[in-house]
Amino acid sequence: MNSKNRPRTESAQIIQLSNTGPKALPCPPPDAGGAETLAEFRAMDRTTKAALAQLTAGLSPASAGLAFADWAAHLAGSPGKQTELVVKALQKGSRFGKHVLNSVQDPTAPGCIEALPGDDRFKDPAWQQLPYRLWSQAFLLNQQWWHNATHGVPGVSKHHEDMVSFAVRQWLDVVSPSNMPWMNPEVLQKTIRSGGENIVQGAANWWADWYREATRQKPVGTEDFVVGKDVAATPGKVIFRNHLIELMQYTPMGDKVFAEPVLIVPAWIMKYYILDLSPHNSLVRFLVARGHTVFCISWRNVTAQDRNVSLEDYRNLGVMAALDAINAIVPKRPVHAAGYCLGGTLLAIAAAAMAEVSDNRLASVSLFAAQTDFTEPGELQLFIDEGQVSYLESMMWERGTLDASQMAGAFQMLRSNDLVWSRIIHEYMMGDREPMNDLMAWNADATRLPYQMHSDYLRKLFLNNDLASGRYMADGRPISLQNLHLPIFAVGTDRDHVAPWKSVYKIHHLTDTDVTFVLTSGGHNAGIVSEPGHAGRHFKIMQRAAKEPILDADEWSGQAAAQEGSWWISWQQWLQRLSSPALVSPPAMGTKHPPCQILGEAPGTYVLQA
């Protein structure tokens, strides 16, 4: 065959750069078995990273190293910043020296620096005595200097600045004088008063906790909160089950109910029953008692065999399957859907996908501490960058799942003073065991996350922000939250470290519909579990109608009406206004034929899976 008739392949084409210029050489054909070889190379990478993760608690040393290198290199090239830090160090040294002299002359002299809001480590009056006040003041001054050192270095990326600042805060928390029993006056005074009994009791507490963790038992006191008896105890039936969910329908408490049912979509990072805790603070029971027909998803606790279950599978086998089941029981009735945390994000995805194909089965959407825009996800972004996600994917690829204990470790690091060191001081040094409550027991009831789903979540939502950008694909189509024209009720909590309220507030910017927004007191969990009668609860609420101007989050906070009590009541009244005025007889519990047969009593079997 001559060259004129030789078939041309893409890899063998000659690229003409110019009429007289040089020509590129032909690309060599791919090696046989190249795909398989490449997969083996990637497997080596994942295995190495997964092994390293055992030594680093799942944190990427490459990401941390890059952050510190960025900070150190730019600090080294910033003589102005270096001079500023030297001046600040001298000023703080002078302030501390004056404080020492004042304290020697007058033991009641005021301090030279105040602790940050929410930092109660040195709140006890015992810290005002010498020499403890000097230690606490020196620590706070040092903490302030390091804040200056890790912030405002010209040229450092915001993400790297946050990572370095966070790491330094963690180190400072470790060396805080409050964590040293010989420097903590509260511990020393109790040791003297009790003759050392607190140390003995603290050692017993530590041993009990260590033993339970080593033997994979739940913490002390959780046995007093039995699922199905003390918590997750609202009467109902399991009326549908597939590989991923059990759907519960709760027993009505009256002869008449609202025509439109309510579907609750909880997060699967933990068990569903945070929304059905003890009878007095169960959101499910609250709704049922006020005449709503309530359905709730209970997610299966996946295993390594579910490694390939994707975020789309959670949408299809979760929200969409639940809606199909509800429609079989309550036909031709739109559903009020409410989602919490990651369940709310999934509900927003499902609602946008339904709007894309004119599926009108939803009456409203309620989002509780649920993000739809991930450009400002709070301090969780410290653990989310390309290097860290690759590290997590390697861990999950090897195991098939991400264990909830690893997620819990990240959350504890975000609030190490409250969740780690405070507990060590009170339970192990002071010997005082904090009584277990239903929320703490639920928090200890961990779940696992499948490899593919969590990878989808981190990459498509956190890293790429596909949902807010209109790039998220559902059923092969890009979906947009702007297609939602349903009334939305969104709730943020003012001390949320998981879904900061200003991030949750961004639902206003992503939709063009009526949005009622609530900012309630409390954190990610306790702010949502906010039953009527809970002392000290308060919230702000304001509605924005479609086409009205959108306020900045701070502007909204300044204008929203403040109320005392529980936001649950306002939400239930909102649901009632959107429901048909005529009450109806309760629907049957399940049906007599698949897919909605009665399969057992609530809370079902999936919630009991360890």
What is the rounded CA–CA span in Å between residue 330 and residue 513?
26
Spatial distance between the Cα atoms of 490 and 372, rounded to a whole number of angstroms: 11
According to DSSP, the β-strands at 448-450 and 473-474 are unpaired
Token digits for 180? 């040293």
| Residue owning tokens 């199905």 | 228
* Selected catalytic residue, list 27, 112, 296, 341: 341
Q: Phi-psi category of 88—alpha, beta or left, where left has phi over 0 and alpha has psi -120 to 50?
A: alpha
Give the residue from 526, 544, 522, 531 showing the smallest Cα distance to 571: 531
Phi, psi values for residue 145, rounded to 5°: -60, -45
Dihedral of the CA atoms 237, 600, 404, 217 (nearest 10)? 120
Cα–Cα dist 457/520, whole Å = 26
Q: How far apart are the first and last CA of the chain?
A: 68
Please name the residues in contact with 283: beta carbons below 8 A apart, sequence gap of 6 or more: 264, 275, 276, 528, 529, 531, 568
For 74, 86, 143, 412, 417, the CA distances from 146, given in Å and listed in that order, are 16, 12, 5, 22, 17
Amino acid type, 405: S
Please state, in angstroms and rounded to a whole number, the distance separating the CA atoms of residues 274 and 266. 8
Residue 496: name the closest of 378, 410, 381 by CA. Answer: 378
Catalytic residue status for 341: yes
> Which of 375, 350, 335, 364 is CA-nearest to residue 513?
364
Q: Is the separation of the CB atoms in 479 and 472 below 8 Å? A: yes
Please give the Cα distance from 545 to 508 (Å, whole number): 10
* Tokens describing residue 181: 């029993």
Contact predicate 272/297, CB 8 Å: yes
Is 608 in a helix, a strand, or coil?
helix
What is the Cα–Cα distance from 389 to 463, expressed in whole angstroms? 9
Closest by Cα among 106, 163, 115 to 142: 115
User: Strands 515-520 and 488-493, how do they pair?
Assistant: parallel
What residues act catalytically?
341
